[in-house]
Every structure is written in C-alpha cells, then in structure tokens.
Amino acid sequence: MITVRNLNKIYPPDNQVLSQVSFQIDAGEFIAVIGGSGSGKSTLLKCISHKEKWSSGQLIYDGRDITSPGLIDRWKLGKDFVYIEEKPILYRNKSALKNVLKGRFYQTSILRLMTGTVNRDEHVLGMDYLEKVGLLDKGKLKAGTLSGGEQQRVAIAKALVQGGKILVVDEPVTGLDPKSVEFILNDFKSLCKNQNISVIATLHQVELAERYATRIWGVADGKIVLDIPARTLTLREKQLVFGQS
Ligand SMILES: Nc1ncnc2c1ncn2[C@@H]1O[C@H](COP(=O)(O)OP(=O)(O)OP(=O)(O)O)[C@@H](O)[C@H]1O
C-alpha cells in the first residue's frame, strides 16, 4: 500500500536526521516504532504523514508515485494519512462530539463548515465513533475537561470519522495510566484487524510493542535498523536499537 524509498531528512543547515530510509507498509499493520531519545522516531512519523517536508526520497501510495503530489494527490494524502500528536490538538471549549465531527471536514459543505451546525445523521455518526473508542457517555463534555487518555481517544475517533486509512501516532500512551494504555493499544489492534487501517505509533516501552503490535521497527541514528514481525526481542536486538547499556 505504501512504499518509501531512500527517504532523507536534513534540517538546515546540515543536520541529517533520517538517512536513506526505505520500507513498505501493508494495510492492517500495526507498526510500533521504538528507539532511543533523539534517534529520529518523531521525524520519521512526521515525514510519513507529510507534516514535515522530505529532503529527498520516493513515495508510492496505492500504486501511484506521488513523490511530488499535485493538488488532488495532496488532498488524498491529507485525508488518508492522519497524524496524531502526543497531546492532540482539540478545541478545548467544544464538546467531544463536535471535535470528532471536525473530522468531517473533507465531506462537509463550506456553508456548514462556516456555521458549525450539526445535523441528525452527523450526530449519530459522531456518537457511533465515540462509542467505538469507549466514550459514548462523554460526547457532551468539553474536550478540555477530558483526561489525557480520553483526549487521545477523541482524536482517534476524529481520525476515523475523517476516513483516515493510515494513523500515524506519536507517543500515544506516554504518561497515561495502565488502563488507558491498554484501552488505546487494544483499540489500535482492533482497527488494524477489523477495519484494515494501518497504525504506525512510537512506543517508549518495548514490552508494549512486543505485546500489541504486529510489526516492530527499531530506529537508531536516523535509520530503521530492525524491522521484524512483533515478538519478544532478543538482548542483541535491543542492543542494536538502544546501544549497549
Ligand atoms: N524542527 C527541527 N529542527 C531542527 N532539528 C530538529 C527538528 N526536529 C527534530 N530535530 C532534531 O532531529 C533529531 C531527532 O529528533 P526526533 O524528535 O525525531 O527524535 P525522537 O527519536 O523522536 O526522540 P524522543 O524519543 O526523545 O522524542 C534530534 O537531534 C533533534 O534535535
């Protein structure tokens, strides 16, 4: 579904953060990205989701080379690839439901976008997605009053309403309590399995990557040095990714 060849990212003037990164991603994969601090994980995620401009590299998506996307390709990239940051940007004073429905941007008329009105069908749709992430009873609450884990789940529901096919999520469970961690990672697992969505998420705890993901990427010095189906890593593999300690 996605093929990336020789992706390079250089921050000016000469900080090469990603070097010659190549990979393929299939629909339905849950890829956990692990690696030491400063190894380039976030930069890789931002490049995959086109939040950051690439310095060079080739991108093939759904069989089309869109390395230099035109207007329509850019629209498709914006709809299909959703980047969710550690602390998702939500409208804090708007309800969880209204935040989720912001994902309808790509399907809503300009008039309704401007007036912010929500019709019955949209209301039901938004509540359906809130139910999928276990927040049915929180739809009316202001996003700013929700916990960190609940805000993450609102952002996930919004991405699903948008019709996102590739969720790129930076540190989705950092700082969350164990119950929220389990909820979110199980949610990713079932989205991949049941809806063929691909999830690429950085995880700081190797055990979580081993337990929940289908594939593990280990990043060191701006390269993917480990790319394996998820399983318990050997000591040697951990050393390859994190160095000797
Ligand atoms: N906007 C930027 N401008 C210049 N350099 C940057 C920028 N963003 C990241 N970098 C550099 O890229 C390198 C990798 O950063 P990145 O955030 O991708 O690492 P990371 O593996 O996600 O780290 P962490 O686990 O600590 O979040 C760092 O040396 C950082 O200073």
Q: Phi and psi at residue 216, in whole multiples of 5°? A: -125, 130
Q: Is 108 in the pocket of ligand 1 (CB under 6 A)?
A: no
pTM: 0.91
What is d(CA 112, CA 102) in angstroms, rounded to the nearest whole number? 11
> Could you tell me the sign of the dihedral formed by the alpha carbons of 38, 11, 16, 42, in that order?
positive
Q: Is 39 in the pocket of ligand 1 (CB under 6 A)?
A: yes
Cβ burial of 202 (10 Å; 0-12, 13-18, 19+) is: buried
Question: If pLDDT is split at 50, 70 and 90, which confidence band does 110 have?
Answer: low
Q: Nearest residue CA, atom 7 of ligand 1? A: 11
Mean pLDDT of 117-134: 84
Which is nearest to 217 in space by CA: 25, 7, 67?
Answer: 25
Q: Nearest residue CA, atom 18 of ligand 1? A: 40
> What is the ipTM for the molecules in this complex?
0.97
Q: Is 41 in the pocket of ligand 1 (CB under 6 A)?
A: yes
Domains of the chain and any CATH numbers:
2-242 (3.40.50.300)
Cβ burial of 124 (10 Å; 0-12, 13-18, 19+) is: exposed
- For the CA atoms of 144, 150, 156, 157, the dihedral, rounded to the nearest 10 degrees, stands at -80
Question: If pLDDT is split at 50, 70 and 90, which confidence band does 133 have?
Answer: confident
Q: Is 12 in the pocket of ligand 1 (CB under 6 A)?
A: no
| Each residue's pLDDT tens digit, 42-64 | 999 999 999 999 999 999 999 98
Output the pLDDT for position 23.
98
Three-class DSSP category at 132: helix
